[in-house]
Structure 1
Amino acid sequence: MPTTTADLDVDLAELLGPLLVAEVEAYLATAARQHTPAPAPARAPQTAGLPGPAWYRIAQHLQADPLQAPSPADTAPAGPWWDGYPTPAPTLTDRILRRRPTVPVTARQHLQLMDRYITAHGWTQGQLWDTDGAVCVLGAHVRVLAVGYGTPATAWQARLAIGNALGYQGAPIPVDTWNDSPGTTQTDVHTLLRTAAART
């Protein structure tokens, strides 16, 4: 039986999902060792009993967070951060298969949505997100994915593009280290995400 694009997408999600989870866990462990530990989200993920790879289980949990569900109140000065994209809504197939609705996006679009998300909610250092909803670069990946834009494979491709953009800028260091560097500003983050998107 020939391999289809859908089969490859599932295989990539199964392979890359744990890598993204490992990045989140490593980031939190590093933050815990520093002087300012990362605060937990409002509700700690309860992933037991949920179907799918670990990354999807985390995304399903975060999707239920009212801060992350697109709503008319969730706007930036220029409009909602997802403006121009359909709001993820479950299809009949999603309901039958009990899977979260997903809007397909490219790695470039994922980066653009991250940029918009940070514009709308703010940027932070030393934690995935704060109580006001501001996020670091990794937190922006998680939030955009959790709402339903793209797949773990898309997010991973976007992360690779960010790493490449840092290398082009002469800063070949992990993006999370760069995010938390004292000299990094929110303007730098927007510039990096836009550079990565333009090169993708």
Structure 2
Amino acid sequence: MPTTTAALDVDLAELLGPLLVAEVEAYLATAARRQPPSPAPRPGALPGPAWYRIAQHLQADVTSPTPDRTDTVPAGPWWDGYPTPAPTLADRILRRRPTAPVTARQHLDLMDRYIAAHGWTQGRLWDGDGAVCILGAHVRVLAAGYGTPATAWQARLLIGNALGRAGHPVPVDTWNDSPGRTQHDVHHLLRTAATS
């Protein structure tokens, strides 16, 4: 029986999803070594791996942008022009968040728009005002329902290739947190990676 494209996409997502989770965990571990210790967890907070804590945070963050909000930017939402993720029958049955299919280049465009709308930060995934680092932008765009972990992983590969061509063969998170880095540099990198 021939393998269908849909089956390959599911297999690829199952393989690459853990890689993105591993990158988030590695980033959080590195950031924890660079920053003073966090305050003690709230009473009743559940321990767990970094991906679990991120998922909890996203579910508890009622101010995080989602496609049904249009008040994030005066000129229009950061996802303007992209289809709104709509739940399919499978999404309803499996009680999962709906996703809108996007390419890796479109994912980079959405990340660029998200950072333009909410701001950019260093040394953490996001801050209390909604500003994000590059990895935080990946997580927020995925949480809004655009693409899959496999899409985000392909986008990260495009970013890494763009950094290599520019003479910066370092991990994107190291590049993001380098002293002297600016939001303009980040936008330039994301646009270069999306068009290469």
TM-score by length of 1: 0.85
Q: In structure 2, what is the equivalent of residue 196 of structure 1? A: 193
Q: In structure 2, what is the equivalent of residue 124 of structure 1? A: 121
Helix, strand or coil for the counterpart of 1:157? helix
Q: In structure 2, what is the equivalent of residue 181 of structure 1? A: 178
| Aligned residue among 133, 137, 141 for 2:134 | 137
Structure 2 distance, partners of 1:185, 1:39, is 29
Partner AA of 1:65 in structure 2: D
Helix, strand or coil for the counterpart of 1:72? coil
Structure 2 distance, partners of 1:14, 1:68, is 26
The question of 1:72 aligning with 2:74 is answered no
**Contact 2:24 / 2:51 at 8 angstroms: preserved in 1?**
no
RMSD of aligned C-alpha atoms?
Answer: 2.8
In the TM superposition, residue 36 of structure 1 has moved relative to its aligned partner by 4.8
In the TM superposition, residue 73 of structure 1 has moved relative to its aligned partner by 1.4
Structure 1 distance, partners of 2:52, 2:3, is 23
In the TM superposition, residue 37 of structure 1 has moved relative to its aligned partner by 5.6
Q: 1:47 to 1:93 in 2, by over 3 A?
A: farther
In the TM superposition, residue 45 of structure 1 has moved relative to its aligned partner by 8.1
Paired residues for 1:68-107 under 5 Å = 68-70=65-67, 71-75=69-73, 77-107=74-104
Partner AA of 2:29 in structure 1: A
Q: 1:83 to 1:95 in 2, by over 3 A?
A: same
**Contact 1:111 / 1:196 at 8 angstroms: preserved in 2?**
yes
Q: How many residues align?
A: 191
Q: In structure 1, what is the equivalent of residue 17 of structure 2? A: 17
In the TM superposition, residue 133 of structure 1 has moved relative to its aligned partner by 0.6
Q: Deviations over 1:60-113 (max 9, x none)?
A: 8725632132302122x4321000012212123310232220100000100000
Q: 1:94 to 1:5 in 2, by over 3 A?
A: same
Percentage of identical aligned residues: 81
Specify every segment of 5 or more residues in structure 1 that has no aligned partner in the other structure, as ranges: 49-53
Q: In structure 1, what is the equivalent of residue 147 of structure 2? A: 150
Partner AA of 2:28 in structure 1: L
Q: In structure 2, what is the equivalent of residue 162 of structure 1? A: 159
